[in-house]
Amino acid sequence: MQRIFLLWLSIILLLCCSSWGFYAHYRLNRLAIFTLPKGMAGFYEANREYLTAEAISPDRRRYVDSTEAAHHFFNADHYGRDPFHTVPQKWNDAAKKYTADTLNKYGTLPWAIQYQYYKLVAAFKAHDTSAILHHSVYLGHYVADACVPLHLTQNYDGQLTHQAGVHALWESRLPEQFGNQYNWYAGKAHYLENPLWQAFIICRGSFKCADTVLRTEHKLHLTFPDSLKYALMQRGNRKVKDYSVAYCKAYNQALHGMVQRRLRTAILNIGSYWFSAWVDAGQPNLNKLIVSPPSAADRAAIIREENLYKAGKIAPLPDYGLINKTLEGKGTLREN
């Protein structure tokens, strides 16, 4: 009995601390494969189930590694009104200015991207299949997190402005509810000259949106009485109070496509980081690393999904068991 309770507790904790939501992380890694050039696509397609299913493992890691949480956010507003001019991009310079402890406390997301990038380059150079997959997953996850506006602010769940819950609303509820209506096509991966600089560019783009995410929700809240803002929603066997469908719809509309834009930015950047690491490693022959090529049925499914992607559309995700069944789980992000 106690074991069952602990199992449920760990599931609830996982749900309460996911970033982008499981749904979006799965989607982003999976769709980023379609941005890749021919020399890479075969290997990534052959491993797409791993890349999809493991997309959330960096979030899970936070429960076994206390240093992991800082990799998922960067509280830019801690560093003043103009953080992207104030904070030096190079870790050593930033640590000299603020101390490494301060950087760790307020999040190390752009440097986590840089670190994973160079690990991926090394993995490609070593022709190390499991390392390539592992670092592709981590790099993809951190790049995706950098595209979420509320990963860039201390007010990450609206907790400082009486908007608690807005984090999951923006990054989980909206993609889950309106994903089928978004246009997901993000184009083709391109070479990134400077991975660290690009990480700061992405973070700055997200940071610029954070105010709109919060302000828009606040304005909407003023027009919705609680009885319409919230509803009892079915979550597995339970009914829980959550934002109503009408409220999500109104919020999605008021954001004028922002969630879709950030999702596409994530797809394009994940693909571009993977591609650039491969180029920097000298474009090794990845086809030699394919252990089990896709079956005829898998091949057909990949082609079907790629054609859908080109049209901006998505196919249903595979069933990842328990996690997939709790896709609508709502959650806040982090413990800092």
Q: CB of 154: closest distance to Zn ion in angstroms?
A: 17
Q: CB of 69: closest distance to Zn ion in angstroms?
A: 9
Question: Nearer to Zn ion by C-beta: 119 or 124?
Answer: 119
Beta strands in the chain (DSSP E): 230-235, 238-243
Q: Which residue is nearest to Zn ion (CB)?
A: 19
Question: Nearer to Zn ion by C-beta: 19 or 114?
Answer: 19
Q: Which residues pair with 231 in a beta bridge?
A: 242
Distance (Å, whole) CA 151 – CA 156:
6
Distance (Å, whole) CA 269 – CA 264:
8
Distance (Å, whole) CA 118 – CA 122:
6
Distance (Å, whole) CA 17 – CA 160:
18
Question: Nearer to Zn ion by C-beta: 117 or 247?
Answer: 117
Q: CB of 68: closest distance to Zn ion in angstroms?
A: 9
Distance (Å, whole) CA 90 – CA 77:
18
Question: Nearer to Zn ion by C-beta: 144 or 255?
Answer: 144
Q: CB of 38: closest distance to Zn ion in angstroms?
A: 30
* Residues within the interface to Zn ion (CB under 5 A): 19, 59, 72, 145
Assess contact for 35 and 189: CB atoms under 8 A.
Answer: yes
Could you give the dihedral angle defined by the CA atoms of residues 8, 12, 18 and 24, in that order, rounded to the nearest 10 degrees? 80
Q: What are the residues whose beta carbons fall under 8 Å from the beta carbon of 196, sequence distance 6 or more?
A: 89, 90, 110, 111, 113, 114
Hey, is 171 helix, strand or coil? helix
Q: CB of 58: closest distance to Zn ion in angstroms?
A: 6
Q: What are the residues whose beta carbons fall under 8 Å from the beta carbon of 98, sequence distance 6 or more?
A: 79, 87
Question: Nearer to Zn ion by C-beta: 250 or 270?
Answer: 270
Question: Nearer to Zn ion by C-beta: 1 or 64?
Answer: 64
Hey, is 308 helix, strand or coil? helix
Going by C-alpha positions, the residue among 151, 164, 155, 180 that lies closest to residue 260 is 180
Q: CB of 19: closest distance to Zn ion in angstroms?
A: 3
Whole-number CA gyration radius for the chain:
20
Q: CB of 251: closest distance to Zn ion in angstroms?
A: 22
Question: Nearer to Zn ion by C-beta: 59 or 242?
Answer: 59
Question: Nearer to Zn ion by C-beta: 59 or 217?
Answer: 59
Q: CB of 273: closest distance to Zn ion in angstroms?
A: 15
Q: CB of 223: closest distance to Zn ion in angstroms?
A: 32
Going by C-alpha positions, the residue among 303, 284, 296 that lies closest to residue 40 is 284
Question: Nearer to Zn ion by C-beta: 111 or 124?
Answer: 111
Q: Which residues pair with 230 in a beta bridge?
A: 243
